[in-house]
Amino acid sequence: MAGWRMLAIICLGVVGVLSTWFSATAIVPELIRVWQLTPGQAAWLTNAVQLGFVAGALGASLVNLPDILPMHRLMTGAALLAALSNAALLVVGPEGAMIARFVTGVALAGVYPPALKLMATWFVKGRGLALGVLIGALTFGSSMPHLVRAVADGVDWHVVVWATSATALGGALVFGLLVREGPNPFGRATFNPRQSLAVFTDRPLLLANIGYFGHMWELYAMWAWILAFAAASNVEPFPFGSPSMLSFLVVASGVIGCLAGGWLSDRIGRCLTCAGMMIVSGACAALIGFYFDGPPLVLALLALLWGVTVIGDSAQFSVSVTELAESAFVGTALALQMGIGFGLTVVSIWALPLFAEWIGGWQWAFLFLLPGPLIGTCAMLALRRCPEAAALAHGAR
């Protein structure tokens, strides 16, 4: 019971801090008007966070920071930084906003990978479900700005920034006062940059990471641009009342996927679960353009199914790393995995609207994301055939 209680506490903090991830994305229409932003500048409000996360995660992995510092202290300091940098949107202009969003991404890299490692210290059996719950909390936190934007439509955009900064500050208090390491700690590391290379030289780890990279190519670009797709749709009446509410529900529905993915992963295996989720999410990316003009119910159901499956496997790539990597460097391996994965999201988030413009609109734009789940599926099925995959989920591949 102690593990599940700590899981709930960590998830509470993660929901609060991760609300800053898409805080600027949710208010882009207002910022375009107030700051006279071009479409390219608007895209970089999201991509600056991704770049900051990449810089923070890769930097942390190179100095083995998540394996040297106590995790709850690292997470507390990073959450405070996220709250402050997010609040900076209230006082800066367009150029300063890009810097503030970059710093927010750096801060989030000090919360997300350490939170995964910390939770793994509380669970050996049922780790897939536990980390699925944690990624579900991340997903719900990421969707919160869209909810605030939907229910406060017409209210000043500053409200979204104030609300997400406040929840991040609350997350810092949770991490600092209530969180501690579990009874199954990983080994303590000393500084060794060469450990980062294991991600590329250890074949099972490499395959797990290729699966993750394919998954990430699709995930954040879909999250970042589902609002633009919905706003461009000609469907009437609009599902759930508005594009913002549909976007919130699509992202938030991923909580269901994370729980289902964790439960399935512990029973039928990490590789099969990841491959299955990517097959379904890729199919949704291929099909959703057919329902761009309706019927509304079909568009809504397909979008929600995509929201469930596009994130449902995410935790299981990280769980695989905790089970395949050398114990003392699990934090380093997670940070490097995420650093490279989020680096790919920068490319897909930047390129997707350009692809949409090139093909003449958003209807078929999500076809651009299909290579991600295709490559990721092949990698996870290849990992399933490796002898080392027996270490996954107590033998469930």
330-341: string of b/e by CB count within 10 Å (b at 16+)? bbbbbbbbbbbb
**Cα Rg, the chain, nearest whole Å:** 20
Angle, in degrees to the nearest 10, between helices 39-62 and 330-359: 160
Count of structural domains, the chain: 1
Q: Which residue range(s) make up the domain with 221?
A: 2-395
pTM (2 d.p.): 0.79
Per-position pLDDT tens, the chain of length 397: 677 888 889 889 988 898 888 787 777 777 888 888 776 777 788 788 889 988 887 787 666 666 677 788 889 999 999 999 999 988 888 888 889 999 999 999 888 878 877 887 888 777 778 878 888 887 887 777 777 767 766 667 788 888 889 999 999 999 999 988 877 766 554 445 555 566 667 788 889 899 999 999 999 899 889 988 988 887 888 878 788 888 889 988 998 998 898 888 888 888 999 999 999 999 999 999 999 987 888 999 999 999 999 999 988 888 888 788 776 666 677 777 878 888 898 899 889 988 998 999 999 999 999 999 999 999 999 988 888 777 776 666 5
CATH code where residue 16 lies: 1.20.1250.20
Q: Position of tokens 């270490």?
A: 391
